[in-house]
Amino acid sequence: MTKKFWLALALAALAMFIVACGGGDTDDEGTTTDENGTEEADSVTAPEDIEGDITILHQRTDINDTVFEQDYRERFNEIYPNINLSFEAITDYQGQVQIRMNTQDYGDVLLIPDSVVPGDLPHFFEPLGTVDEQLEQYLFADDFAYEGLSYGIPIVVNANGIVYNTEVFEEAGITDIPATPDEFIEALQAIKDNTDAIPLYTNYGDSWPLDQWEPNRLAIAGDEQFNNHLIDTEAPFSEGEPHYTLYKVMYDAANQGLIESDPLTTDWELSKQMLADGEIGTMVLGSWAIIQMQETAEVSGHDLDVIGYMPFPYTQEDGTVYSVVGGDFNLGINVNSDHKEAARAWVDWFIHESGYAFDQGGISPIVGEDFPETLAAFEELGVEFISDATHREGEEGWLDDIDNISEVGFWQANFKQRIIEAAIGNRNESFDDIMDDLNSRWAPAREQVVNQ
């Protein structure tokens, strides 16, 4: 979508304005008059009349006791005094919630795990509205959709790239942002040669940060239809394909000793402090990480501009550099909840009133909101944004099905950890061996889904 993406947002916002101004009128007694002059009574429940005890599962262990338990609870209960909130922050969020979803006990409101395929959404989650309705209000509200219904709203919209320490780059003598994989590896080598910092921290031990590499496949492809093309591709891990190019960077960095000395013992929370203090040069993370790194730097007495953010180092033939824009975790409601009205009240309040997206330096999921200052550097670099096009009609869920049947795991850590293990000599296989194995599993799974 690139620049068209932002034009679409503006047009969507304008359309909402027109609908709001040209629709029915509401009188002083709470009734609505439609285009035909018919009066309809509003059926909105007053906030104080909504009751229930609801449990909210989330991944922000770092701010659960402060922001969620104190700030959010107090502000929410000022509006909804009879809804009792319980917050449960989970470190291994995806893994633990997937297990809990084998029962009905997975909270009332939760972040939808990436592993949930479209066809399973109605079994686990309450629909939030039609896709068309939701897209008028929220960006990427079709990420978790099935048969015309939307089941999730992104908590924040992220750009993707690499967070880095600007002082480490300066000390290493890096004057230009790397624009190609080779330039990035050269920059990492310069950090190793000229500083005491770890050039690239993988966070292998926590596993989930490795999934932060995956969105960058689209930045390399440079084609918003890439996911649809992926369905047509029998060997997506072959040399020259976006996935091969992407993960060859990971392999080369590990193979050349440009990552942490013992990947198996990494620590996510500690890594934020290490990057802020100049002990780490780079980490591949979504733009959501910028604020977390800046907050850590500030507490340690560093200037905020010690934290930099750059696009994934890949330049198209026409000179364009892309950053992939997409929804973060999506907020959904457990279909088994006994208090769905209270759960929906939390979803709406969190998206519209909490300020979470702004506080995280991300793009608000609400159509028409302002662009965050944390990504101002992208404008200076001339970076263009790109996001995945919707699936072709009749093929919704196919890509997820192929991924699951093949057990490749685009959004899981398995093959990424395998790449790092092979690169540092803990596995007796080459990068091409791994790519060939993934292709061998992808092809029959693809044939099974496409010819079903």
Q: What is the rounded CA–CA span in Å between residue 201 and residue 212?
A: 12
* pLDDT tens-digit readout, 285-310: 999 899 999 999 999 899 999 999 99
**What percent of the chain has pLDDT above 90?**
78
* pLDDT tens-digit readout, 169-206: 999 999 999 999 999 999 999 999 999 999 999 999 99
Q: Do 230 and 301 sit in the same domain of this protein?
A: yes
Q: pLDDT at residue 277 above 70?
A: yes
Q: What is the rounded CA–CA span in Å between residue 225 and residue 328?
A: 20
Residue 253 maps to a domain: yes
- Torsion sign, CA atoms 166, 169, 173, 179: negative
Residue 101 maps to a domain: yes
CA atoms within 13 A on the CB side of 333: 21
The CATH number of the domain where 80 resides is what? 3.40.190.10
**Backbone torsions φ then ψ of 83, nearest 5 degrees:** -110, 120
Residue 11 maps to a domain: no
Q: Do 292 and 163 sit in the same domain of this protein?
A: yes
Residue 22 maps to a domain: no
Question: Can you give the pLDDT at residue 29?
Answer: 36
**Domain ends where: 345, 370, 395?**
370
Residue 335 maps to a domain: yes
Confidence of residue 57 (pLDDT cuts 50, 70, 90): very high
Q: Do 147 and 228 sit in the same domain of this protein?
A: no
Residue 99 maps to a domain: yes
Confidence of residue 442 (pLDDT cuts 50, 70, 90): very high
pTM across the whole model: 0.76
Mean pLDDT of the chain: 89
Q: Do 147 and 175 sit in the same domain of this protein?
A: no
Mean pLDDT of 384-409: 88
CA-to-CA separations, 287 to 164, 169, 443, in angstroms, rounded: 11, 19, 33
Q: Do 216 and 355 sit in the same domain of this protein?
A: no
Question: Can you give the pLDDT at residue 392?
Answer: 80
Q: pLDDT at residue 142 above 70?
A: yes
Cβ-based burial of 78 (10 A; exposed 0-12, middle 13-18, buried ≥19)? exposed
24-33, 42-51, 337-346, 384-393: lowest mean pLDDT where? Answer: 24-33
The set of residues, in sequence order, having a beta carbon less than 8 Å from that of 177 and lying 6+ positions away, is 310, 311, 313, 381
Cβ-based burial of 67 (10 A; exposed 0-12, middle 13-18, buried ≥19)? middle
Q: Do 245 and 111 sit in the same domain of this protein?
A: no
Question: Can you give the pLDDT at residue 43?
Answer: 58
Full residue range of the structural domain in which residue 63 is found: 51-154+329-370
Three-state secondary structure along the chain? CHHHHHHHHHHHHHHHHHHHHHCCEECCCCEEECCCCCEEECCCCCHHHCCEEEEEEECCCCCHHHHHHHHHHHHHHHHCCCEEEEEEECCCHHHHHHHHCCCCCCCCEEEECCCCCHHHHHHHECCCEEHHHHHHHECCCCCCEECCEECCEECCEEEEEEEEEHHHHHHHCCCCCCCCHHHHHHHHHHHHHHCCCEEECCCHHHCHHHHHHCCHHHHHHCCCCHHHHHHHCCCCCCCCCHHHHHHHHHHHHHHCCCECCCHHHCCHHHHHHHHHCCCEEEEEEECCHHHHHHHHHHHCCCCHHHEEEECCCCECCCCCEEEEEEECCEEEEECCCCCHHHHHHHHHHHHHCCCHHHHCCCECCECCCCCCHHHHHHHHHCCEEECCCCCCCCCCCHHHHHHHHHCCCCCCCHHHHHHHHHHCCCCCCCHHHHHHHHHHHHHHHHHHHHCC
Q: Do 171 and 107 sit in the same domain of this protein?
A: no
CA atoms within 13 A on the CB side of 57: 26
Mean pLDDT of 156-174: 96
Q: What domain count does the chain have?
A: 2
Q: Do 215 and 293 sit in the same domain of this protein?
A: yes
Question: Can you give the pLDDT at residue 174?
Answer: 98
* pLDDT tens-digit readout, 223-257: 999 999 999 999 999 999 999 999 999 999 999 99
Mean pLDDT of 102-119: 94
Q: Do 91 and 210 sit in the same domain of this protein?
A: no
Q: What is the rounded CA–CA span in Å between residue 62 and residue 65?
A: 8
**What percent of the chain has pLDDT above 70?**
90
Q: Do 362 and 269 sit in the same domain of this protein?
A: no
**Domain ends where: 326, 347, 378?**
326
Residue 447 maps to a domain: no
Q: Do 120 and 71 sit in the same domain of this protein?
A: yes
**Domain ends where: 338, 370, 402?**
370
Q: Do 108 and 189 sit in the same domain of this protein?
A: no
Residue 294 maps to a domain: yes
